[in-house]
Chains A and B, each alone.
Chain A
């Protein structure tokens, strides 16, 4: 599944990228995290505590069991702290 990935806040810092396009063997958000975690220590560190992560698929909040779509924009980030 080809995805446009975006990372924010400490997820971005740990991975060392603000985004990338990747073809992952994944059908859900959770499976994408597993596939990304195998890519290196930065990814593994960023995704080590899944309960501290939030996700948006094509700019809408989703849960880890959400189904991916080819070419979707998947953003991975900590709980938001605006306001």
Chain B
């Protein structure tokens, strides 16, 4: 029921959330999260992924969320390729009857996606590029749901 898309193209939060609730009256809450490329020293970021596995991993995470909370619909979009500061990377939008379920499922999907979807970020700074290291805090954020 939750739609997963992996793409190079940008996405529009308004269009995606509208598509979830358009023509329905059973949805009482849509919670969404958009992750962006944070600037500062970073000049660009390239996201590599494992095409044969990425959608499968995201769909498994979405299915786990749908099993934990009564959700009505949802969209997960993750981009790959080269992105610039301010560009959107990831979108999670979840529709439910009540806000608690929508908020929780949205946070859960992001926490699991950070540690369980096969993407790797490479940052460009001052003409040099380096792979981003995984963070222990991301593992801790995932583990709070166990």
Residues of B close to A78: CB separation below 8 A? 120, 131, 134
The answer to whether A73 touches B90, judged by C-beta atoms less than 8 angstroms apart, is no
Across the interface, do B120 and A8 meet the contact criterion of CB distance under 8 Å? Answer: yes
Contact A83 B122 (CB under 8 A): no
The smallest beta-carbon distance between B129 and chain A, in angstroms, is: 10
> Which residues of A from 58 to 83 have beta carbons under 8 Å from B?
59, 61, 73, 75, 77-83
Asked if B119 and A56 make an inter-chain contact with CB atoms under 8 angstroms apart, the answer reads: no
Q: Is the Cβ of A9 less than 8 Å from the Cβ of B116? A: no
What class of interface size applies to chain B in its complex with A? Answer: 20 to 34
Q: Whole-angstrom distance from the CB of B58 to the nearest CB of chain A?
A: 9
Count the A residues whose beta carbon is within 8 Å of the partner chain — how many? 16
Do residues A8 and B48 form an inter-chain contact, with CB atoms below 8 A? Answer: yes
Complex CA distance for A77 and B90, rounded to whole angstroms: 21
Chain B residue nearest in CB terms to A83: B114
List chain A residues, Cβ under 8 A from B52.
59, 73
CB neighbours (8 Å) of A82 from chain B are 47, 49, 78, 89-90, 113-114, 117-121
CB pair B118–A77 under 8 Å, yes or no, is yes
- Could you pull out 19 A-B pairs where Cβ atoms are within 8 angstroms? A59-B56, A75-B53, A78-B120, A78-B131, A79-B115, A80-B114, A80-B115, A80-B118, A80-B134, A81-B120, A81-B131, A81-B134, A82-B47, A82-B49, A82-B78, A82-B113, A82-B114, A83-B89, A83-B110
Give the top 6 A-B pairs by smallest Cβ distance, nearest first: A82-B119, A79-B134, A9-B120, A59-B53, A83-B114, A81-B132
Residue ranges of B at the interface with A (Cβ–Cβ < 8 Å): 35, 47-50, 52-53, 56-57, 78, 89-90, 110, 113-122, 131-134, 138
